[in-house]
Amino acid sequence: MADLSVKNLLGIADLTSDDIHLILETADTFKEVINRPIKKVPSLRDITIANLFFENSTRTRLSFELAEKRLSADVVNFSASSSSVNKGETLIDTVNNILSMKVDMVVMRHPHPGAGVFLSRNVNSVFVNAGDGTHEHPTQALLDAYSMREKYGDLSGKRVVIIGDIVHSRVALSNIYCLQKLGAEVAVCGPSTLLPVHIDALGVKVFNVLEDALSWCDIANMLRIQMERQDQSLFPSLREYAMRFGLTQEKLDALNKEITIMHPGPINRGVEITSEVADGPHSIILPQVENGVAVRMAVLYLLASQINR
Ligand code: CP
């Protein structure tokens, strides 16, 4: 099997399109594995992985842990809220102490953009970024691409719009890089206050009217308003936001085509998307979560194959 061009997965920006295709094709194999009655392979036996979560997570944390266990890795979980970080220990000291217990790989979620890059330059291990602040969430973009590819096959020329709080979103940036490397056309849509200035420099189309974006796209990826990352009000009210940018069945019915609906989760039902749409026939929100395990198995397997044992 070919190797990835990277030793760590810090962001999609570092991957080649060949790397992305290799991860998605490897995930096909693991998706078949996790649908067997015995959902486990010995691929990472004798590899120990630490999951370091300095920020809340449901999907990513459990998905990585399941992926690791289904590859037969030994797993330790670290939650910042119950750790000695609260006694003032630095990130480098924390990780070096964990690594001295013969840990081979580190999966880390951290609120600060660039935390994974910083660690990879200062600590000797293999790192997977499970989301770093507003920067990147590479495995989310890979599982999103996998889920789109599962539905459409080749993504060349497919039109994907990412809608909502783009300025605070690591999912948006990783998706833009990933989809463009796979040949898709990408757009963003939201109120101007939730779009980064110069976002068009990334080669994306920009919409400020939801209905225009929906008319243009094949796939709509809805994002949550990240209130926890906002220290000022960037729109008048959630009610007004939901009226202008919330995805409802009425807005979908007004299109003379079907589009696929995605969301990385967690969902704020009734704000960026109604329950009727989130749970409707064109939503692939739960398949995205299911695919996350296979995609993360592929990432861990490919990175671990470069560890000298
Ligand atoms: N999509 C995602 O990253 O969800 P969690 O924050 O629950 O991990």
The label of the residue with tokens 């939201």 reads: 190
- Nearest CA to 147 among 27, 246, 43, 49? 27
What pLDDT sits at residue 99?
97
In the predicted model, what is the mean pLDDT of residues 231-251? 88
List pLDDT tens digits, range 154-197. Answer: 999 999 999 999 999 999 999 999 999 999 999 999 999 999 99
Kindly tell me if the per-residue pLDDT of 211 is higher than 80.
yes
pLDDT at 283 over 70: yes
Least confident of 83-92, 210-219, 271-280: 83-92
Split at pLDDT 50, 70, 90, the class of 229 is low
Average pLDDT, stretch 69-98?
Answer: 92
The confidence score (pLDDT) of residue 235 equals: 78
pLDDT score at 166: 96
**Index of the ligand 1 atom closest to the CA of residue 63:** 8
- How many angstroms is it from 264 CA to the middle of ligand 1? 7
Q: Is the CB of 203 under 6 A from ligand 1?
A: no
Residue of 58, 134, 296 to test ligand 1 pocket, by largest number of atoms within 8 Å of CB: 58
Q: Residue 140's pLDDT is what?
A: 98
Answer whether 139 contacts ligand 1 (Cβ < 6 A).
Answer: no
Ligand 1 neighbour 11 (Cβ under 6 A): no
Please determine, for residue 309, whether its predicted confidence score (pLDDT) is greater than 80: no
Look at residue 292 and tell me whether its pLDDT is greater than 60.
yes
pLDDT for res 203: 98
* Atom number of ligand 1 nearest to Cα 265: 1
Q: Which is the closest atom of ligand 1 to the Cα of 56? A: 6
- Residue 234's pLDDT band (boundaries 50, 70, 90)? confident
Q: Please check whether residue 49 is in contact with residue 73, taking contact to mean a CB–CB distance below 8 angstroms.
A: yes
- pLDDT-derived band at 83, boundaries 50, 70, 90: confident
Question: Alpha carbon 156 to chain centroid distance?
Answer: 20
pLDDT score of 308? 65
pLDDT above 90 for 243: yes
Confidence of residue 232 (pLDDT cuts 50, 70, 90): low
Rounded average pLDDT over 15-24: 98
- Does pLDDT of 8 surpass 60? yes
105-110 vs 48-53, strand pairing mode: parallel
Query: What is the residue with the minimal CA distance to atom 4 of ligand 1?
Result: 59
- Whether residue 109 lies in the annotated active site: yes
pLDDT tens-digit series, residues 87-138: 899 999 999 999 999 999 999 999 999 999 999 999 999 999 999 999 999 9
CA dist 309 and 297 (Å) reads 19
